[in-house]
Amino acid sequence: MNFVGTAAHDTGESPVNLRAAVYARYSDENQDDTSIEDQIRECRDAATQKGWIILDEFIRSDKAKTGKTLAGRNGLKELVELGGQKPRPFDLLIFHSTSRYGRNLSDTLPLIDLLLFYGIQLYFVDSGLSSTNPNFRDLYLMHGRNDEHFSRQLGHNVKRGQKGRVLAGYIGCSRVFGYDNAPEEHPTRKGRFGRPDIIGVDLVINPEEAAVVVRIFEMRASGIGCLEIARTLNREGVLSPLAKLGTRPRAWSATTILRILENQKYVGKNIWNQTRQVINPITGGRRKEPRPRSEWEIIDKPQWRIVSDELWAAVQHQLKRTDINANRRGGLNRSRASRSYIFSGVPKCAVCGGNFTVVSGGPTHVRYGCYNHRFRGTCKMATVISREQLEKQLLDALAWNLGDSELRGEISRSFREQLQQALEAHRKALEAAHKHGDLKETRAELKLNRENLLDAIERYGMSDALQARFEKAEADLREIDAVLTSPAEEPQDIASEQEIEEFLKQKMTQIASVLASNPERAKREVQNRISALYFEPVTLPSGPGFKVTGDLRLFLTPEDVKLNTCLKMTSDLYMFAVVPIKAEIPGTIPSSGRPRLVAKRVIADEAVLAA
């Protein structure tokens, strides 16, 4: 439903030559990049008609991201952060439509207020809605409510269509391991790209995969656990239903095995609407919640049967007795206790590149190890370490490195070299600007433009458009004058070695103090300053262990880098400095008994951690 036509929207007047950023988004992972390209093209066309200048370096997009939440939409978040900088890198943010911006008013309205506070104008191409319109907020609310309603109605329509297909004997989901999809085409109706429309999709048994399904059921019925089944299939190279994703290999896991064992399609029953999917509005995470049995749709499909009733019953009896219970491993599903795990999410296995995470133990005996080894059997690194010893002795290693005078000296020298190189590059840029006279020519053009604007204001009076153009010309002139009046050569010694070393010492002491505070503060510091710690298996005199390597960033933002009032340029140059992390950690190979914990001291320049 369209409440207001385009002409009624675009009543606010925006000046020409505005510097514009562009944002595009699509939500369906089945769509492709052409959706983004189409949106950007139409934004460019609109900008050309308005006389605005699209800045290619400020075009951002989010692909396959829902508009129901801001979580995971890093392209939009980055533009908002950029818009808050001073001076602003762009004046205008263009969207193809309000729905591409978002479909949740509780998210989009506060962000609009923030962008307008930053002085960023907003423009939506398809409706011509501009933030310069005096009625912008009311008009945006109408469009936003439409977008929310469309999203809810779309979900309802999709579910209704799925139910109709299920009741007609087709599947209401994607591919199922053990079967091939068999689409049924409409005899006359055409679908996309001129091909026949698909009435529905049935399942046809895939003999090779069906044999694997039967084998999985037989192994579990004989008492073999899901984890051991997954490891066996991985060792034999049997392809898993899961595709390779990032560092995650295409491999069987205990969870995949369990889902197969609980899927009643293998006994000829199509059960639909058992769960519903909900989205966490803060994290963007999705989870499934069970629906009441009264809402289920159960359709008999005897042609789908792969597993006998006797084998199915035997497996269900085994599952009721004992099996994997992820709820007991707090670190794997973010239990209350796991929120205080200081290094959560940071450790990585150096062998396979996967996560080095909680693999066993209760809240008081948590042990870290390679996830791919423990739960998939695709990595050979079997060594583990207790969480308490890992955290205590890695923190000791960080504290020792942050306090080591020799290491501080090396970091200070590296930091000073970077500073001198950056200042030299800045000096050469200033020399070039003075030498070629480009800025002077630009200044002359701006002065002439400003005089013409003054003539127009005197003749026709002040308007919002003329005022904005005049203020921009004034601001550009001030920036050029600041460069032209600055010295062409920066001083070589803007800070002594002692000043830099003292500054870095204070920064390291501050970080060490935070790491020694309560676990939640220490965790935030670790998450912000350490991107990854790599655990490599080694053989130590005491037995199996790890070599741990990584870097800790000293500065997170340009505002972190302020030596003193004389160094006004230091923040703009944003020096990069890290504290190297190096530790050797004696570990243990899991056995039938719980490993004994042995504490050791920090010696020399290496932190020795015991497991």
Rounded Cα distance, 607 and 611, in Å:
13
Tokens 């007991």 belong to residue: 328
The CA-atom distances, in angstroms, between 422 and each of 137, 355, 415, 569, 602 are 45, 37, 11, 10, 38
Q: Residue 59: which H helix or E strand, with range?
A: strand 53-62
Rounded Cα distance, 109 and 345, in Å:
32
For 495-508, give one letter per residue: b (16+ CB within 10 A) or e: beeebbbebbbebb
Where would I find the beta strands (DSSP E) of 334-416? 347-349, 356-360, 367-370, 385-386
Q: Are 336 and 204 in contact (CB under 8 A)?
A: no
> pLDDT at position 521, please?
80
> pLDDT at position 509, please?
82
Helix (H, G, I), strand (E, B) or coil at 150: helix
Tokens 């139910």 belong to residue: 163
> pLDDT at position 335, please?
54
The conformational region for residue 396 under phi > 0 = left, psi -120 to 50 = alpha, else beta, is alpha
> pLDDT at position 336, please?
57
Q: How far is CA 583 from the centre of its chain?
A: 29
Residue 109 tokens read as: 């309205």
Helix axes 405-436, 497-515, angle to 10 degrees: 120
> pLDDT at position 551, please?
84
All structural domains of the chain: 6-152 (3.40.50.1390), 207-324 (3.90.1750), 330-415+497-611 (no CATH)
Q: What is the pTM of this model?
A: 0.50
**Helix runs in 84-130, H state only:** 98-101, 105-117
**Phi/psi at 409 (5° precision):** -65, -40
Q: What is the mean pLDDT of each run of 10 residues along the chain (611 residues)?
A: 42 75 80 77 93 93 86 89 90 94 89 92 94 92 88 74 77 82 81 74 91 93 86 88 67 89 92 81 74 87 92 88 48 54 86 88 81 85 87 82 78 77 67 60 78 69 66 74 57 64 80 80 82 88 86 70 49 61 76 35 33 39
Going by C-alpha positions, the residue among 143, 160, 38, 162 that lies closest to residue 101 is 143
Q: Are 248 and 354 in contact (CB under 8 A)?
A: yes
Q: What share of the chain is helix, strand, coil (3-state, %, to 5)?
A: 45, 20, 35
What is the CB neighbour count within 10 angstroms for residue 430? 18
Half-sphere exposure of 360 (CA within 13 A, CB side): 17
